[in-house]
Amino acid sequence: MKLLVCELGTMPYRAALELQRAAARARITGALDEDLLLLVEHPPVVTLGRSSKAQHLLASPALLAARGVELHEVERGGDVTFHGPGQLVGYPIIDLKRHRQDLHWYLRQVEAALIASLAPFGIVGERSKGFTGVWTGGRKLASIGVHTRDWVTWHGFALNVTTDLSFFDLMVPCGISAVEMTSVARELEHQAAAADRMASDGILGVRVRTQVAAAFAEIFALELAELDLSDLERVAGITQPA
């Protein structure tokens, strides 16, 4: 069995949402016969999950617009979070019937994959009791929110790599009061010269994506393979406008 990895580059949130929904439908019907991991970076956007509370979004619509931030309500679990440049967002389209039909197990697997991805950078990823996501030294590095239908998953994780963390001041991230958000780049500041060099030419982001894809394949015991966006669109029945 394979884990197909499709690199989407930078894509607006709404377009990526429709793509993953189509991919999930294809996985449910069997038109897509392997598990899939979509990797993407979004322009600034705030998303509200099913558990979102109005008071956790601190910014008004006018302030969001002034900062160029879109706002979307979505079907994933969890509260309010931010996606934007410098953040690696992953949408695993996994058929849990081929693994284990247990959503809590799946969430722990996603956490484990992200923790394994951080280790090569000398960052010790951690879980926080009672919460979903990945922390290091008490600071939150990655948020996770998923949705399932017929045991097929979509939505996923957001790992801060070189993210502008000031965007998280617009909200109570994931509804966790007093949480301190961090990024891979910030955690590497003790190696400032190397981190700045990697961040400036994109190497850090490439390395993180590579580690994440490999870790997901290993955690789910799948063989890693690439999938072009055009092939995914064909399988998922997406027709691009002429």
47 Cβ contact partners less than 8 Å away, ≥ 6 residues apart: 13, 71, 72, 73, 74, 76, 80, 81, 82, 83
Q: Which one of 134, 141, 172, 174 is the catalytic residue?
A: 174
**For 116-137, b where at least 16 C-beta lie within 10 A, e where not — what string?**
bbbeebebebbeeeeebbbbbe
Strand extents, DSSP E, 116-216: 134-136, 139-149, 152-160
Active site residue 6: no
Residues in the chain: 242
Catalytic site positions? 174
